Amino acid sequence: MTKRIYFDYNATTPLSEEVLAFYTDTLKEYANASSLHEDGRRSAELIKKARSQVASLIHAPDAADILFTSGGSESNNTVFNTMIAAGEKRNNKFIAVSAIEHPCVLESAKKLQNCGFTVEFLPVDCDGIIDDAAYRAALEKKPLLVSIMAANNEIGTIQDIPFLAERAHKAGALFHTDMVQACGKIPVDVAAWDVDYATVSAHKIYGPKGIGALYVKKGAPIEPLIRGGHQEHGLRAGTYNVPAIAAFGYASELALQNLSSYASLTGELRRLLRDGLLERIPDIKINGHAERVLPNTLDVSFPGAEGEAILLHLDLLGFAASTGSACASGSLEPSHVLMATGMGAELAHGSIRFSLGMGSTKEDVQALLDMLPPVIDKLRKMSTLSGAEAVRA
């Protein structure tokens, strides 16, 4: 196969042709947006427009509620860093986060533990939905902050954020949601959902890498993570990356315009891929919720085949996908998301995430359906042989 086929849109999206052209042109705007001269004012206007475009994508009531950052990780870190001062002020050092959050949230929560906070990692059911009894019990402890992602990056499960946020507020808690994977794929509405903080990233919606945003509801506490200049009302220092911010805004505008067609396209392709895999490969497991799932995300476990081996074979055949497993410090760790759903380590190791996007086609799905079954069959036979040799030894 000579053509590379991309099934890893949840990891990052390419710049769309429209955004690429806009971004390239905007690179000519080199002036510092904080400068008072005409060139600086022109850059400032680009930022102002982008702020409005991002606000429209997530239905923020005021563009001033949008704080530009370097990406989702910084936005999430900013929220958790804010809790240090907020916890002191409110005399409350208890927070709750879901067990299937992105590592930048989980590591930020663990950092707060080092600052004397108690952190409860909320369990999920087998589909990745927040366990209701555990959530109620956590809220009875009156947490300072609850952080639950809108949609999971691995299995695609969508949480009922309006319901969860309402209950958190009744318990007196602030509510944060990481919407990085949800934006541009499903409708999101920070005003209707009544969240205090929401995280967005450009490179998941066909914008550039290295730029993101944090929505901060009026009245919610916020502390700068990066200090120095007066940018972003003193809440995020650093010379503005004007071209990236402007391109983020344009990508947000396009994402909002294309939301329905994007969901329809990827949803149909996901269905074709899911049904084709179930038909052609025996004994597989589809992970995540059957209905409350991102239209573009399909996570599949292949018992008897190791995930890394599957990816290597697919890569050689021209396919790009991903696995929840990660190689850290020389040891292979299973996906914390799949483990949180109650899946065993062996099965979690044999799981692959296929994520579709604007460039995906039926032909791409068909090519994968033709190529993957022999790969799984080969790996399962190798695994069986290896097991038999181990028994003989």
- Parallel/antiparallel/unpaired status of strands 174-178 and 145-147: parallel
Torsion angle, alpha carbons of 116, 122, 123, 124, to 10? -150
Q: Which helix (H) or strand (E) holds 375?
A: helix 362-392
Work out the number of other CB atoms within 10 angstroms of the CB of residue 161: 24
- Classify residue 36 by burial, with Cβ atoms within 10 Å: 0-12, 13-18, 19+: exposed
- Residue type (1 letter), 146: V
Nearest to 249 by CA among 53, 389, 71: 53
Distance in angstroms (rounded) separating the CA atoms of residues 216 and 197: 5
Q: In the chain, what's the furthest Cα-to-Cα distance?
A: 80
- Classify residue 272 by burial, with Cβ atoms within 10 Å: 0-12, 13-18, 19+: middle
**Cα dist from 60 to 15, 52, 170, whole Å:** 24, 9, 22
Residues in the chain: 393
- Residue type (1 letter), 234: G
Nearest to 354 by CA among 258, 276, 244: 276
Q: Which helix (H) or strand (E) holds 20?
A: helix 17-26
Decide if 246 contacts 22 (C-beta within 8 A).
yes
Residues annotated as catalytic are 327
DSSP-derived secondary structure for 116-161: T-EEEEE-B-TTSPBPHHHHHHHHTT--SEEE--SB-TTT-BBP-H
Give start and end residues of each alpha helix (H) in 178-293: 190-193, 242-257, 259-280
- Give me Rg for the CA atoms of the chain: 22
DSSP three-state, residue 100: coil
